Amino acid sequence: MQADYVIVGAGSAGCAIAYRLAEAGKNVLIIEHGGSDRGPFIQMPAALSYPMNMKMYDWGLKSDPEPHLGGRQLVTPRGKVIGGSSSINGMIYVRGHARDFDHWADTGAQGWGYADVLPYFKRMEHWHDGGHGGDPAWRGTDGPLHITRGPRKNPLTRAFVAAGGQAGYQLTADYNGEQQEGFGPFDATIYKGHRWSAASAYLRPALTRPNCTLTRALARRVIIEDGRAVGVEVSRGKKVEVIRANVEVIIAASALNSPKLLMLSGIGPAAHLADHGIPVVADRPGVGQNLQDHLELYIQQAATKPVTLFAYWNLRGKARIGAEWLLWKTGLGSSNQFESAGFIRSRAGVDYPDIQFHFLPIAVSYDGKTAPEGHGFQAHVGPMRSASRGQVTLRSADPEANPRIQFNYMSDPQDWVDFRQCIRLTREIFAQPAFDDYRGHEIQPGDAAQTDADLDAFIRDHAESAYHPCGTCKMGAVDDPMAVVDPQTRVIGVEGLRVADSSIFPRITNGNLNAPSIMVGEKAADHILRRQPLPPANDQPWMHPDWQQSQR
């Protein structure tokens, strides 16, 4: 088996790359370990808590015990299915803030500033405003990735945005447009009642072309001869074989599996590779380092009126939702239920939002277990730019073994200050008049938790990953010893090899990572095709005029 371009991973970035290379007439082969995404648990937006807890669709990775979270091991789902994590995620679409990308460019990822990436976000999007307003000039309208907004019929969903305004924050009709900061409607990768994953948007259309094929296999390592990547060793059952790449190998296997694959191939920190008996091809100390994620808390409030989704949290309710969705692709099953968002700054002197809210009109954990109190609502909240850094390392030289993952969450003292602030600011929003008709007691942390020590104990026991790992194959300048890929996504020190997925983010972006991961695939495709990048955009994003003196 061989192709000109061999892509490892049919996830968010890999699907986009395959589509653009196939469209350009190139001969492409994609290696994916996971199987089909056809099941209703993936396709029905409201069922999102199921696929990320199913062995069939998830790699089943866990962190090592986290020293600052009481030794808890946190689950870190990654999609083992076509579409990758875009097939098991919450479907929330957030580009990130303009300043995130300017920071990338300023730290060595030249050509990846906001002006450079905005045209790629527009190219990939097919945005439907759904009558909720927005910034059409800032959005794309004919790309492969359909983006819609939920119906926002639940009164709590609207109350959350109103409460943000009453607390003195900005309102924004389109946080993916000119102004991210503020409260407003969420965008989602949902179309005609279905999850619109990277498999739906990019992979299926690509596979209709004769020059693009998908093969199910586990990538074991990249074959490198005389400093050049020439293929990928894969296993299918008991059989090990090599898929040859005539031009390039592109790794898009996630922020957890891409560094693992590089290290198994001899690219990484030399001493660590030697510990596992792996011959060093390129000593890149940055491989597996710089691991980042978003951590979040669920602030839960009891509801005094039965307006929450808890009314459907029983067999009959779920059956009704499922039946309506199966028959007509409408009703509650057709929304991820995350329909209101907030992006705010934690304090004066922070120049752009560093706290994100996801509002949900039910009190429920990510694994689908509801609060014992019954009716309630919650905000998922957490800081966006923690200074804590972790690492992904090899557990062994066996390609079947999961990597070791140590996020090192909450290792920076500022994290504790920021998280306490998140809790107190959320409480203030829930205390606004917009919630007066619905607000019962606080379920968690609970009204008794007021001191810093109380809140710290709650954070230690209850902080959860938002499932946004990134940064482990950092993109940067060629002379940066910790950079793994250059600004063209080429692995430094090896010919014919690239990495393009969330692992190359120099720093985590503001919000959910699916959109910037797909953007990385779109832009990397132009570099692979040696095309001139799309011309930079001159749009100036909104910044709070008084950010130095004012928190809101």
For residue 364, with 0-12 CB atoms within 10 Å meaning exposed, 13-18 middle and 19 or more buried, which class applies?
Answer: buried
For residue 328, with 0-12 CB atoms within 10 Å meaning exposed, 13-18 middle and 19 or more buried, which class applies?
Answer: exposed
- Among the listed residues 481, 505, 509, the one whose alpha carbon sits nearest the alpha carbon of residue 493: 481
Radius of gyration of the chain (CA): 22
Q: What is the largest CA-CA distance in the chain?
A: 70
Q: How far is CA 154 from the centre of its chain?
A: 26
The 10 Å Cβ neighbour count of residue 266 is: 19
Instruction: State residue 70 phi and psi, 5-degree precision.
Output: 65, 25
Q: Are 511 and 309 in contact (CB under 8 A)?
A: no
Q: Are 442 and 300 in contact (CB under 8 A)?
A: yes
Strands 2-8 and 239-251: parallel
What are the tokens at 16?
């986009």
Residue of 146, 294, 380, 468 marked catalytic: 468
Q: Are 377 and 358 in contact (CB under 8 A)?
A: no
Q: Is 468 a catalytic residue?
A: yes
241: β partners: 234
The helix/strand/coil state of 340 is strand
- Among the listed residues 61, 7, 8, 56, the one whose alpha carbon sits nearest the alpha carbon of residue 34: 56
Per-residue burial over 463-492, b = 16 or more CB atoms within 10 Å of its CB, e = otherwise: bbbbbbbbbbbbbbeeebeebbbbbbbbbb
The answer to whether 81 is a known ligand-binding residue is yes
For residue 137, with 0-12 CB atoms within 10 Å meaning exposed, 13-18 middle and 19 or more buried, which class applies?
Answer: exposed
Q: Are 409 and 463 in contact (CB under 8 A)?
A: yes
Annotated binding-site positions: 81
Annotated binding-site positions for FAD: 81
Known catalytic residues are 468
